[in-house]
Amino acid sequence: MDGSEENVLTQSGQKFLHEMKEMHFDHALPLFNKRAFNTDSAPCGLYDLSRQVVERTGGLPLALEVVGSHLRTISKAKWKTTLTKLKEVPHKEVQERLKISYDALGREGQQIFLGIACFFVNNKKTNAMYMWEACDFYPEVEIDVLIRKSLIKIDHDRISMHDQLRDLGREIVRLKNIKNWGD
């Protein structure tokens, strides 16, 4: 089972769900530094930039490793440009890896995921459900799939999504619109 889904542990015939969480900043920074500098701490002059990158990746281990590995391969002078780009558009390789879970969804699930990313983050689930029901997207089933894949969370009838998943959804929509404008 990949890291984007909840792990199901079966013991004595019982199932236990363990939701994978973001790393605490104090653990995320050394992981990033290990990938970017091959050491637990950033060299002088790059500490603040390292902290900013870790904050931007939101503590997702996959994102920390991918971005850290990428920054290792470029000159330190290009780090600021890369950080600015990360703020606007998440790192392409991270998006590609996160997109694996999106691609595995059916058409209705993809549409619901994109709708949440663009319009319904931190909004009431019931409001969105009316729209998706009118579109025959079978939202009860699809919402359960999105939750199981840890693509969204529902808490007190509010839909939430990690910032990187939200950015991925918005980038998918942006790229589809660019492609459609070219036709």
Tokens of 159: 């839909």
On whether both 67 and 142 belong to a single domain, the answer is no
DSSP secondary structure letters along 29-79: HHHHHHHHHSSSSPPTT-HHHHHHHHHHHTT-HHHHHHHHHHHHTS-GGGH
On whether both 74 and 121 belong to a single domain, the answer is no
Amino acid identity of residue 50, one-letter, is S
CATH of residue 17's domain is 1.10.8
On whether both 115 and 61 belong to a single domain, the answer is no
CB atoms within 10 A of CB 28: 22
What tens digit of pLDDT does each residue of 62-103 get? Answer: 788 878 888 888 887 888 888 887 777 667 777 887 888 899
What tens digit of pLDDT does each residue of 149-175 get? Answer: 888 999 999 999 988 899 999 999 999
2 to each of 7, 15, 76, 90, 178, how far by Cα in Å? Answer: 8, 18, 32, 20, 31
Q: For residue 109, give its domain range.
A: 98-182
pLDDT at 2: 43
CATH of residue 124's domain is 1.10.10
Last residue of a domain, one of 33, 58, 88: 88
Last residue of a domain, one of 35, 60, 88: 88
The DSSP bridge pattern shows strands 158-160 and 153-155 to be antiparallel
Say how many domains are in the chain.
2
